[in-house]
Amino acid sequence: MKFETEFFNIGYLDTLSYRDTLVHRLDPRIKITVSFLFIILVVSFPKYELSALVPFFFYPVFLLAAGNIPLHAISKKILFVSPFAVFIGIFNPLLDTDILVTPFGIPVTGGWISFLSILMKFILTVSTALLLIAVTSFPGICEALERMKLPKIFVLQLLFLYRYIFVLLEVALKMLRAREARSFGKKGKEIKTFTKLISVLLVRSVERAERIYQAMLSRGFRGEIRVAKRHRPGIADFLFAVTAVALFVLFRKVNIVYYVGETVSRHIR
């Protein structure tokens, strides 16, 4: 995984947000509210719940398909951060050894079920957050948060943090290329050189950020997020919100997978 590849890949989700599809045209405030409710309902399930989480995959799959988002763009990022979720639940099978179910005669402990539940919740919530950026854009999300009356200082810090990541990576990319051009074999790749690069990177990033901020002030920035188009809720937004919330509540109240399985097994008998 090369640094240059990851650098240009970070802004790929923002590039996807400029597509013109049904979900791209929805009001960002509606998409944020629906996605936030989705995440709250997903994490509210008990730790041993698996089957009831399955229907919730409908929402990220819908955003993926309706937004014409490439699957690899989301799956690669989920895999990249998945070690954090694995680390959280990897010790559950060792700590919780009570056998809860025996499918096909195979005993399965509560630790393995809670571990799989953590992974499913992680995939659902992270994929939804990434898809929200892919169909809205990060500046669009910040503009919507500002219109939803969130503290302006919080929204601006969020926007600047996102913007300055690219500044930091651009400076780091130039420094890495310079080091590669001046290194032969293992020379220049010692820890001592690495620590010097980190300190120089910090100083250059601060200087670059100061210049960018001064340029923003000279171009009329007064602490407001301005976008080319401000959305207004319409019929499509209303239908999307009502349908999504109704399905989420249904999935949360009724274990559809369990009832379908019970019905199928009853007919087989």
Whether residue 127 is predicted with pLDDT greater than 90 in this model: the reply is: yes
pTM greater than 0.85 (yes/no)? no
CA-wise closest residue to 31 among 232, 228, 241: 241
pLDDT of 269 strictly over 80: no
Q: What is the C-alpha separation between 94 and 114, in angstroms, rounded?
A: 11
Give the C-alpha separation, 167 to 34, whole Å.
32
Q: How far, in Å, CA of 99 to CA of 111, rounded?
A: 9
Residue 200, number of CB atoms within 10 A of its CB: 12
Q: Give the pLDDT confidence score for residue 259 in this predicted structure.
A: 84
The rounded Cα 132 to chain-centroid distance in angstroms is 8
What is the per-residue pLDDT for 186? 65
30: tokens are 């509606």
- Residue 35's pLDDT band, with cuts at 50, 70 and 90, is very high
At residue 157 the predicted structure's pLDDT band, cuts being 50, 70 and 90, is confident
Residues 135, 138, 143, 145, CA torsion sign: positive
pLDDT digits (tens, 9 = 90+) for 62-111: 999 999 888 888 888 888 888 888 888 888 888 888 888 888 788 888 88
Provide the β-strand partners of residue 108: 101
